Amino acid sequence: MMPEQVLQAAKDLNVKKLLPVHSSKFAIANHAWDEPLKRITALVKSAGVSVITPRIGETVWLKDPWQEFTEWWKNIR
């Protein structure tokens, strides 16, 4: 799904947190490797959906409401 479809599915399912997958791992598409994360994080800001954006391999504590994730892809070039 495209980021807009992911957001709509998250809304339809009334998710507590959204964890985008299959993004920002490899540069094999016709867009920049970080574009999906840029798009989904921009979309969720105005939609009131919480998004989880861990670095690859970073531990995610699903029951920890205080765990925060940075927009780590902005510092990689």
- Give the start-to-end residue ranges of the domains of the chain: 3-75
- 3 state SS of 8: helix
Q: Is the pTM of this model over 0.95?
A: no
- The three-class DSSP label of residue 18 is strand
- What type of residue is 34? D
Give the start-end residues of each E strand in the chain. Answer: none
CA distance 64 to 51: 13
Tens digit of each residue's pLDDT, the chain (77 residues): 888 999 999 999 999 889 987 665 556 667 777 888 889 999 988 888 889 999 888 999 988 989 999 999 888 87
